[in-house]
Structure 1
Amino acid sequence: MDEMFTSFVVTDDSGMKKVEYPNPKPPVVSNLFDMSRKDSLFGLLFFVLTILFTIFGLWGGFQAGFSAVALLGFVLMTIYFAGKNTKIRFFPFVCGILSCLVSLVFGVTSNGEVRFWSFVSVLMLSTVWFDSLVNSNPDKGDLGIIGRICRAIFKGSFGSMPKSLASLFASKGEKRVSVGKVMIGILCSMPVLFVVLPLLISSDAAFSGLASKITENMSLTIFQIIIGLMIAPFVLAYCFALKKIKAPEEKESSFKGIENTVVISFLSVLSLCYLTYLFSQLAYFFSAFSGFLPDDYSFTVAAYARRGFFEMSVIAAINLLIIFLVLLLSRKKNNKICVASRILCLFIGIFTLVIISTALSKMILYIDSFGMTRLRITTSAFMVFLAIVFISIMFRLFMSKVRVLRTALVTAGIILVVLGTVNVNSVVAMYNYEAYKSKDLINIDVDTIAELGDEGIPYLVQLAGDSNSTVSAKSKRHLSDAIKYGYYEVDFELGKYFIRGKTYDDIGEYSIARSNAYEALDRYIEKNPSVFEPSWV
């Protein structure tokens, strides 16, 4: 019988006969998200947000404008994800606060390393916060946090993109606003604007000036909008997937773990190797703490410090992975690994802390001998971060409630806030300048000061008047290049440079360091009118 019909046998006066009735239509299963007016409204806002990110982030140099966009995005997404039944938990709340604080770093410092890792930190910290607003179940351990972050990136931003876009532009449903129809309306308004705008421009001088300023870089603006629209689907997919798709329940694995005999044997061999290395290299390790190089050591101070750091980085990464895998894969009793494995992992952790402290002492020796650089400061901060993570993982060996990844996220956020607030580049420039003036440093590397960017400019201005002719000449050359090719729009006429205006005059490109640099350069230009002639003089 055809599946579209159901047959019944009925009896009447004429006897039995077969009657067929059509089956009811099966319910139509929609492949779209159930969208509301709120979803459609925030979908449009997310489009605008990605365009602002492109303008102030990718093209704005990640300055104060990006800080404003990041905070705006944080507020919008928090409002979108939060519901009546949302419960604020402590750790995600700390992550949310740190995300906002790290966002402010972009308006303070021009240090590339700090801003890059701040961007990564903002993404991870805010992801934890947004996930907590939607999912009421707290994550189970460090793997739970990793799983939710990876699910948001891969299953959300990539896996749900077609469904998210189709849901946003669909028009069915009483509570749904068709974004497609909104876009059609906007496109239909364009021909009218092409007629009205020229009339308004010709009728009023003020509006004409405003329009000319807006359309000055119209081609670049259109390109930025296109790039923003290309990024928007990833943001939309992440937001809709996180809000609409319920996170799967975390099931306990049936994997019982690796035999303790195998784990203990592996850790014993590694620990014996480390112990032998410690005994054979005592002079290499602990001579750094005395403040001078070993007499029989042939490397320079620079090579001594750099080699120590790279050794530390590789060993720390290997040991961190080993201890983490032991905690994850070894057989457990009462949620704890066996005592022998814990003791061996503790020794490996202590060995790693010795490596880190030795490398840090070498870096201090390096700084005392040759001064600060931004790389030396960020490297030292990374060592401190690694030490804290290893201390937490050593506690985790004996206390199962300790969360290593939580500690790492919070520690990274705090360190980045500190590095951004004190402004690494500014600290480096000030330290080297003061050490040079106080004769703690015999020479000062002017090129290093110039490489600091905005933060180095005020100190180059001061070094331009130094009694050392070499230092003064180098500083003046760097200042001249900064004025002619970086901070100002300059014309060359009749053997003289005429300054027409500032290169970075957009509010989105503002930062505290850049503002201080412009103040120092303006003073320098006024004191050297024979070389530079400002148009406003």
Structure 2
Amino acid sequence: MKEKLESRYGYFMISSIIYGFFFTFCLYRNLHGITLPFWVAGTLVYFILAFRQLELKIKKDTVFYAAAALLLGISSVLTDDLFLHFFNMAGILLLLGVSLLHQMYEERKWGFGRFIMNISTFFWDIMESIALPFSQTGKFFKKKSGQENKKLKYVLLGILIALPLFLIVVLMLVSADRIFYEMVSKALSYIRIDMNIVFIICMIFLGIILIYAAVGGLVNYRLKEDQPACKNQEPIIAITFTSILCAVYLIFCGIQVVYLFAQGVTGLPGDFTYAEYARRGFFELLFVSILNFAMVIICNTFFRDHKALKVLLTIISVCNYILIASSIYRMILYVAVYHLTYLRVLVLWFLILLAFFMAGALICVYRSKFRLFFYCMIVLTIGYLGFSFARPDYLIANYNLAHMEVMHIDDIHYLMNSLSDDAAPAIAKLDPENIEGASRVYSDAFSFDAQQTRKMEFYDYFYKLDEKYQSSWRKYNFSEHKAQIAAVQYLEKHEEDKKLLKTDFN
């Protein structure tokens, strides 16, 4: 496979150069604009053409990974959430990596751990292949010339030696003589370097090197396709520690069913508030749920089959569902009183995802050939796509505003300052006159009454929002555009607030 890459150097280098320009056009200072899904599509096209050059047939499952990566790119254009932007990009790279591995290897025999190890090795191979375009370019020109031009080699070596010496000598002489310093300063003043051009050139080279290195890492072909025999540990060890844990879980889960789920809110201990009850138990249960998922996978991977062990792992899995349900219920109790935040939504989403992961782990207990990693990838991809397209910031703002009996300015501060501009259309529906409290920022700086401070804070928020988005079509983002429309409509509707505030300033 390496020989095919080297023999088709001309094609891969030219296509990589074209990709480098395309990569820069789409992503230069623009990681969530309209060009992002086009970059994903362009990258997929590059690899499809590369597979043809390497005489590889596109496999069926690759279509799923490619479609999911493209949907993540579209999702980034629909939100202003930086958290989603980061994980969308990470998800795109992960899906591309998994799809490339799927193309090159028969990974059906890989277990969960082997898949994690191999995908990590693949990304490491890409890093190791960064020098590949340079080495293959050198070989290409060496073949073309027929013999190495030694004189040119010596000239280039001399230039490389001269560069650091030149800089050191000039710096010393500049500090030694004032006239020489002024002469050098005057000469440098005529040299104007636009840093944008420098960054663009660097990004073009980065795109060329990374895409060529990705192909190089792909054809390295050093991953082991066979799953090593590791299911050889004595099952009595696992039976012993899982039986002890099962006893603890059964007692705890019995308490949850009888006390928490049966009595609900009225069953809360008298000394506990909602916050204390939910938070004190929630994170511990979340940790134990993740631990149980890992334990079932480890026991099923490393210990020999045994009926008693399968029964115990099944009991742990069922108990884990009760722990997950308890965690979700505790969080619902908390949200019912204190409303939603980004972290609470994220945790609820993860718990639902963990329940699906647990189902896959339980299937593995009885079906050893079940492709757990592939199953988890599908669940994670679909679950994350749903989370990303839902635009959680907008949902949080809508939910909180609909369920707050009394809205205080501090609650609005969270929506304005802690959430992304996805929340702006929901905030724009509010009227500052229907909110309680005074804005501390403006009441401390000016002698306004509480209502005026609220009006000023709202007007200032939407004014800055309107001024914020004055970018080119390349950086167009649907959510930012929607937020700007909401800002313009709010400013037009509350034009009198601007006049009032100007009067107060005077």
Q: TM-score, normalised on structure 1?
A: 0.72
Q: Distance in 2 between matches of 1:137 and 1:325?
A: 19
| Residues 285-330 of structure 1, C-alpha deviations (whole Å, 9 max, x = no match) | 436xx55263425333234333443123211221122111112111
Given candidates 307, 316, 325, the residue that maps to 1:357 is 325
Matches within 5 A, 1:43-54: 43-52=16-25, 54=27
TM-aligned CA deviation for residue 45 of structure 1? 3.1
Matches within 5 A, 1:23-422: 33-52=6-25, 54-55=27-28, 59-82=29-52, 85-135=55-105, 138=108, 140-154=110-124, 156-168=125-137, 170-172=139-141, 218-223=194-199, 225-226=201-202, 229-230=205-206, 233-242=209-218, 244-253=219-228, 255=230, 257-279=232-254, 285-286=260-261, 291-292=264-265, 294-331=267-304, 337-422=305-390
Map of 2:157 onto structure 1: none
SS in 2 for 1:299: coil
Map of 1:427 onto structure 2: 395
Distance 1:161 1:455, change over 3 A: closer
Q: Which moved more, 1:69-78 or 1:321-330?
A: 69-78
SS in 2 for 1:110: coil
Task: Flag structure 1 segments of 5+ consecutive residues without an equivalent.
Answer: 1-28, 177-215, 332-336, 489-501
2:79 alignment partner AA: T
8 Å contact from structure 2 (residues 422, 480) kept in 1: yes
SS in 1 for 2:357: helix
2:85 alignment partner AA: R
Q: Is 1:453 aligned to residue 420 of structure 2?
A: yes
Distance 1:433 1:281, change over 3 A: closer
2:303 alignment partner AA: S
TM-aligned CA deviation for residue 40 of structure 1? 0.8
2:427 alignment partner AA: L
TM-aligned CA deviation for residue 160 of structure 1? 2.3
Computing the radius of gyration over CA atoms, which structure comes out larger, 1 or 2? Answer: 1
Q: Distance in 1 between matches of 2:377 and 2:454?
A: 40
2:209 alignment partner AA: P
SS in 1 for 2:267: coil
| Residues 436-494 of structure 1, C-alpha deviations (whole Å, 9 max, x = no match) | 4xxxx333621232132222222322213543454866764443443555541xxxxxx
TM-aligned CA deviation for residue 82 of structure 1? 4.1
Q: Which moved more, 1:390-399 or 1:300-309?
A: 300-309
Q: Distance in 2 between matches of 1:469 and 1:136?
A: 63
2:121 alignment partner AA: R
| Residues 251-290 of structure 1, C-alpha deviations (whole Å, 9 max, x = no match) | 4535561111112112112222322333456566436xx5
SS in 2 for 1:292: helix
SS in 1 for 2:429: helix
Given candidates 469, 486, 498, the residue that maps to 1:520 is 486
Structure that is richer in helix per residue: 2
SS in 2 for 1:160: helix
Map of 2:182 onto structure 1: none
Q: TM-score, normalised on structure 2?
A: 0.76
Matches within 5 A, 1:521-536: 521-529=487-495
Q: Is 1:510 aligned to residue 476 of structure 2?
A: yes
TM-aligned CA deviation for residue 378 of structure 1? 2.0
Q: Distance in 2 between matches of 1:228 and 1:358?
A: 51
8 Å contact from structure 1 (residues 446, 475) kept in 2: no
| Residues 386-433 of structure 1, C-alpha deviations (whole Å, 9 max, x = no match) | 010001111111122322221221111112221222322222222223
TM-aligned CA deviation for residue 164 of structure 1? 4.0
Q: Distance in 1 between matches of 2:237 and 2:81?
A: 46
Distance 1:506 1:303, change over 3 A: farther
Distance 1:166 1:46, change over 3 A: farther
TM-aligned CA deviation for residue 385 of structure 1? 0.6
TM-aligned CA deviation for residue 69 of structure 1? 2.3
Distance 1:89 1:314, change over 3 A: same
Q: Distance in 2 between matches of 1:228 and 1:474?
A: 49
Q: Distance in 1 between matches of 2:251 and 2:387?
A: 38
Q: Number of paired residues?
A: 437
TM-aligned CA deviation for residue 124 of structure 1? 1.7
| Residues 483-508 of structure 1, C-alpha deviations (whole Å, 9 max, x = no match) | 555541xxxxxxxxxxxxx5442224
Distance 1:83 1:267, change over 3 A: farther
TM-aligned CA deviation for residue 366 of structure 1? 2.3
Q: Which moved more, 1:232-241 or 1:216-225?
A: 216-225
TM-aligned CA deviation for residue 341 of structure 1? 1.2
Map of 1:479 onto structure 2: 458
Map of 1:443 onto structure 2: 407
Q: Percent of pairs identical after alignment?
A: 19
Map of 1:196 onto structure 2: none
Q: Which moved more, 1:516-525 or 1:108-117?
A: 108-117
1:357 alignment partner AA: A
Query: What do you get for the CA RMSD once the two structures are aligned?
Result: 3.4
Map of 1:191 onto structure 2: none
